[in-house]
Structure 1
Amino acid sequence: MAYESLLFSNSDGIARITLNRPDRLNSFTKAMHAELRDALANLGDARVVMLTGAGRGFCAGQDLNDRAVAPGEAVDLGETVEESWNPLVRTLAALPQPVIARVNGVAAGAGANIALACDLVIAAKSAKFIQSFSALGLIPDSGGSWHLPRLVGQARALGLALTCEPLPAEKAAEWGLIWKAVDDDQLDAEVDGVATKLASLPPLGLAAIKQIIRSSWSRTLDQELELQRDEMRRLGFTHDYREGVAAFLEKRPAKFEGR
């Protein structure tokens, strides 16, 4: 379908999705949520997903104008979270493809937390991550209160959430909040390089890595070891594993088929 709030392309195994409301710092409307749901449900043969924003920002979260309420009126924010933000976070986590967030500028509120919901976050050094919720009397939604303490620990999570203090991308990388911060003029090359590499690797293995690491919080060590055994058994019987071994021994590039 044709999108009004997104740019979408799919080539060479990489699906590229750009939030395209630069005049509003790519803040989300109900229509943008619907378009992004559709794009993520129609990735075709893509082996990697790249999510970014147009213009000078990644995403400023929810477009407050989209709720169409007068100042001082009550609005059911839980409905917006339940209908739009929670499904998006769940989808990003459940996709078998690795999802790269290319953070080209400010990522604020739910926009910051959608980036953190992706599997790899690569940011320009000029980018900032802002947990802006406390200024409005709210909590870090869109997975924020779950991801933040797991990524940076409770003390830093509380500091970011309580103070709304912008976190520069380089410090975010130092803290382990994101994967990498790079010079602004190197952002495209870095993201493209990572996406191309991931697209060339065995997709079943990447999907298994994503699933097992994301779900490891819920298991004991013994349960994890048993699951590792089961997954190694399953993956060891795949065509891609046999192809990878053969290519290594024959000193040639491997051709992985996802089976």
Structure 2
Amino acid sequence: MSNPVLLRVDGEVAHVLLNRPQARNAITIELAAALRDTLTAAAQRARVIVIRGADGTFCAGGDRAEVARLREQGAAALRPLFETFIGACELIARLPVPVVAAVEGAAVAGGFELVQSVDIAIVRDDAVLADNHANAGMIPGGGGSQRLPRLVGVPRALGHILTGDRLTGAEAAAWGVVYRSVPAAGFEDAVAALVANLAGKDRAALARIKQLVRTGMAGSLTDGLAMEVEATLAHLTEEGEP
């Protein structure tokens, strides 16, 4: 069997590929664990990480065959699927380098939850993004019920998750779910320009900015402002990584 996640390092950029094209890169326990381990390795070798899906599809969510098989065995068998995938998504926030999702094709269910977890998502206008769990009588299991409201607000998040409506890449950008949406013809150039921009910046500065935003969102504004002052002083007076 082929590796469900591939890593290629090109200079300062690590390319992480979800590699189950026969299943539209659907998430299994094996893929979730490989994603976690590959992201950890990539952060040690590069200034920027780019996540993509094989064969023009980002990720179709949880692998239905695996979910059905594990479901027959009970909650204890199912738990590692969700906890391992959530762990991989949560890891992204702690990595000291920017993690970019380059999204084309479909990013639905767990794939959409992965998009919500990265630092920067750039998508094709014609991509399809959706939390479509409710359409199959399911509920979000990879963090979507918690992340999406924080990104777009409760009314839009509940409206989207409950209806299972699809969003185009352009709509996802308008909602603020992703950083930018780009026409198909210019997508690869836009991804390359974004990655080059990030790779050319000071690594310690990007790591501290990411840490400030990620940590600050979990606390109060007052605590976040105090943390920002301390981080700025450290960045201006200390050498090396944060």
Please report the TM-score for the alignment, with normalisation by the length of structure 1. Answer: 0.85
Residues 170 and 5 of structure 1: CA distance in aligned 2, closer, same or farther (over 3 Å): same
Aligned to 1:148: 148
Deviations 1:32-78 (A, max 9, x none): 223222211212330110001011310011112124629x8464233
Q: CA deviation at 1:3?
A: 6.0
Secondary structure of the 1:9 match is strand
Provide the secondary structure at the position in 2 that maps to 1:60: coil
Aligned-partner residue type, residue 38 of structure 2: A
Match of 1:81 in 2: 82
Superposed, 1:44-193 pairs within 5 Å as 44-67=44-67, 69=69, 73=72, 75-76=74-75, 77-82=78-83, 84-193=84-193
| Equivalent residue letter for 1:96 | P
Tell me how far apart the structure 2 counterparts of residues 194 and 258 of structure 1 sit (CA, whole Å). 23
C-alpha deviation, 1:258, in angstroms? 5.3
Which amino acid in 1 is paired with 2:9? N
Residue 210 of structure 2 aligns with which residue? 210
Name structure 2 gaps, 5 residues minimum: none
Structure 2 residue 227 is matched with structure 1 residue 227? yes
Amino acid of the structure 2 residue aligned with 1:46: A
Shift of 1:217: 2.6
SS in 2 for 1:146: helix
Pairwise CA RMSD: 2.1
Indicate if the aligned counterparts of 2:216 and 2:223 stay in contact, CA closer than 8 A.
Answer: no
Tell which structure's C-alpha radius of gyration is larger. 1
SS at structure 1 position matched to 2:65? helix
- Contact residue 33 and residue 85 of structure 2 kept, 8 A: no
Cα separation, partners in 2 of 1:224 and 1:68, compared to 1, 3 Å = closer
- Report the counterpart of residue 19 of structure 1 in structure 2: 18
TM-score (norm 2): 0.91
**Counterpart position of 2:9:** 10
Partners of 1:202 and 1:258 within 8 A in 2: no
Equivalent pairs, count = 239
Which amino acid letter does the alignment assign opposite residue 102 of structure 1?
A
Q: How many angstroms does 1:8 deviate by? A: 1.5
Provide Cα deviations, 1:227-255, integer angstroms capped at 9, x if missing partner: 1110010000245xxxxxxxxxxxxxxxx
Closer/same/farther in 2, CA of residues 177 and 106 from structure 1, 3 Å limit: same
Q: Do 1:3 and 1:35's aligned partners in 2 also have CA atoms closer than 8 Å? A: no
- Following the alignment from structure 2 to structure 1, what is the Cα–Cα distance between the partners of residues 228 and 241? 20
